[in-house]
Amino acid sequence: MSDIIAFSPVLLAAITGLIVMVLDLLSGKNTHKGFLGWVTAVGLLASGTAACLLWVGGREISLPFMVGMVQFDTYGAFFVTLIAIAGAASSLLIVDHNPEQGIHDGATYPLVAFATFGAMLFVVATDMILLFLGLEIMSLALYVLAASKQTSPFSMEAGVKYFLLGALASGFFLFGAAFLYGATGSLDFVTVGRTIQDAAAHGSGLSKVALVMIIAALGFKIAAVPFHFWTPDVYEGSPTPISAFMAGVVKAAGFAVLARMMLTIWGTAEFSSGWQSPGGILLILAVISMVVGNIMGIVQDNVKRILAYSSISHAGYILLGVYAIGLGEPGAVGISLNSGVPFYLLTYVLATVGAFGVLALMGGQGHEDMSLDSIAGLGKRSPILALILTISVLSLAGIPPLLGFMGKFVLFKQVLLADPDRNWVWVVVAVLNSLVALYYYLRIVLYVYFREPEGEAAPIIKSNAGLFAVSTMAVLVLLLGVFPGKAIDASNQASHHAVLSITEAQAAPAVQQESAPTPEPKQPLRLRQVDGLKVDPSHIPIIRRAMELKLRDSGPKPK
């Protein structure tokens, strides 16, 4: 029973979706469906709160059908909360945006709730089948949401594009999971990682293929360059609250899973040595994402496209963080996720949802055009929205008092600390990129305050719900920017739990040398029997076999 309670934060999101469906039906056909947005937001925030209350510090799972399927720990709590906040903000933005754009249907809200549920499931799952289900629930709902504005050909185009490429990415993910299963005979990626690290000689080819496939699949979800071509078109064409959702929730969930899977399965001390190592691939993606994202961002004239390219370049910074693993910190083989990564994702998600949110509150009466010209003079027409947009955009740029600056500072510092001799080059590249990016962020601010609209300016939507959502984002960006201590602490704790493992430090002496004496990890370890045993390397296959048998036979215990 306690396992079901531990699962409740994720379940709450699904239940929210079901409740919203029922309310949508019961409220009749001619009512204003805006209240459903509030219900969705409250439900999602409740699930985020529950995650914080229940999971921090980790929870042991004993229910047989959940062992090895899901993991509830501080890492999950951090990302589920982040996803819940972004999902709730998006659903509040929909409240007045959709009617203004001619969408009066209540079916959008359950889809948002279910997409959030999928993202949460994606984050907590450790089993390939469950991961795939989470990925598909999230993606399927988003394909439909991207195309939900049927009067607009752009929205249709966005939906079709996102669907075709997303289905391809799902195929890659399945392919990778199948290869991992073929190489190790397990679907639980903690066991997969163990097997691969134990026997590097066996099936290493298969695991390499799987690595590339999974990077491609998740690279699509996080919009890293060369898998980014859909991003600007889809973010531009989708209804703006949905763009906010994609830029916030999907990216957070994608990175959470990418970091955890990469480091758990391929996370040895050689993770980022050389171009052909898993980290090396991530580094290449990181650098080209930053450069391409920022350069393409400069030449755009549409605010939504600028933000899309900005999100691509941010994916680059975060990938750099995933590449620069922390050595000698808690974790299986002395590695952990770079502690700047969760914090940076927090800063990015809050600011980008805020920025897209302001755009979602413009463009009333079916106005779709979001060119720089249409936001010109916003400072005079709506000082509040202009201020929020400025705060968000400057935070994305990394201007000092705001949260984005702290995010960049912490992330780049941690990347540098991870390996000062080699990583300084990449930190310099990243800092230069941030400077280049200033150009297009400041351009938005310039248009908002110092230009008069030449063409038709985007009408402003009066929306209490939307204003509440975006101003909350802006306040968080300001407050956390000034007092980032708690958030950085949470990020540190989360990143210490990122790498899932059955510790076997003694069994891998080659890797041991790198790591400082590791304190006992706090996260719940399944199969505690093996932990900390002095294991003779020749016994590993026997132990693994025994564990597999135990997993297989772990039906419900007789009462």
Q: Which residue in 9, 58, 87, 159 binds another protein (CB under 8 A)? A: 159
**Among 123, 188, 89, which Cα is nearest to 342's?**
123
102 contacts 151 by C-beta, under 8 angstroms: yes
- Residue 250 contacts another protein per CB under 8 A: no
Rounded to 5 degrees, what angle do the CA atoms 124, 113, 337 make? Answer: 25
Q: Which residue in 209, 417, 478, 527 binds another protein (CB under 8 A)? A: 209
Q: Which residue in 114, 227, 255, 412 binds another protein (CB under 8 A)? A: 114
Token code pair at residue 187: 């679907």
**Among 72, 266, 198, which Cα is nearest to 505's?**
198
- Residue 29 contacts another protein per CB under 8 A: yes
Q: Which residue in 39, 42, 52, 107 binds another protein (CB under 8 A)? A: 107
Q: Which residue in 52, 66, 387, 442 binds another protein (CB under 8 A)? A: 66
At 460 the three-state DSSP class reads strand
- Residue 516 contacts another protein per CB under 8 A: no
Q: Which residue in 46, 84, 95, 140 binds another protein (CB under 8 A)? A: 140
Q: Which residue in 5, 53, 65, 479 binds another protein (CB under 8 A)? A: 65
List, in order, residues 6 or more apart from 266 with CB less than 8 Å away.
193, 196, 207, 211, 278
Distance CA 555, CA 413 (A): 47
- Residue 21 contacts another protein per CB under 8 A: yes
Candidates 99-107, 327-335, 377-385, 509-517 — which segment interacts with another protein by CB under 8 A? Answer: 99-107
**Among 285, 303, 291, 288, which Cα is nearest to 247's?**
303
List, in order, residues 6 or more apart from 222 with CB less than 8 Å away.
250, 251, 254, 255, 258, 315, 318, 319
Site size for another protein (CB under 8 A)? 54
Bridging pattern class, strands 326-327 and 335-336: antiparallel
Q: Which residue in 129, 298, 446, 479 binds another protein (CB under 8 A)? A: 129
Terminal-to-terminal C-alpha distance of the chain: 14
Rounded to 5 degrees, what angle do the CA atoms 435, 241, 439 make? Answer: 15
Encoded amino acid at 243, one letter: S
Candidates 204-212, 229-237, 267-275, 361-369 — which segment interacts with another protein by CB under 8 A? Answer: 204-212
Q: Which residue in 9, 37, 76, 110 binds another protein (CB under 8 A)? A: 110
- Residue 189 contacts another protein per CB under 8 A: no
**Minimum distance from CB of 235 to another protein (Å)?**
20
Q: Which residue in 2, 32, 53, 151 binds another protein (CB under 8 A)? A: 151
Q: Which residue in 108, 191, 272, 414 binds another protein (CB under 8 A)? A: 108
499 contacts 263 by C-beta, under 8 angstroms: yes
Token code pair at residue 489: 């602490």
Nearer CB in complex with another protein: 203/278: 203
Of residues 420-479, those binding another protein (CB under 8 A): none
Candidates 203-211, 340-348, 357-365, 440-448 — which segment interacts with another protein by CB under 8 A? Answer: 203-211
**Among 553, 509, 511, which Cα is nearest to 534's?**
509
Look-up of token digits 């989708």: 238
- Residue 200 contacts another protein per CB under 8 A: no
> What is the number of other CB atoms lying within 10 angstroms of the CB of residue 320?
29
φ, ψ for residue 423 (rounded to 5)? -80, -10
**Minimum distance from CB of 20 to another protein (Å)?**
10
- Kind and range of the H or E element at 326? strand 326-327
**Minimum distance from CB of 220 to another protein (Å)?**
16
- Residue 288 contacts another protein per CB under 8 A: no
Nearer CB in complex with another protein: 64/459: 64
Q: Under the rule (CB under 8 A), what is the footprint of another protein?
A: 14, 17-18, 21-22, 24-25, 29-30, 64-66, 69-70, 102-105, 107-108, 110-111, 114, 117-118, 121, 127, 129-130, 133, 136-137, 140-141, 143-144, 147-148, 150-151, 159, 179, 182-183, 202-203, 205-206, 208-209, 555-556, 558-559
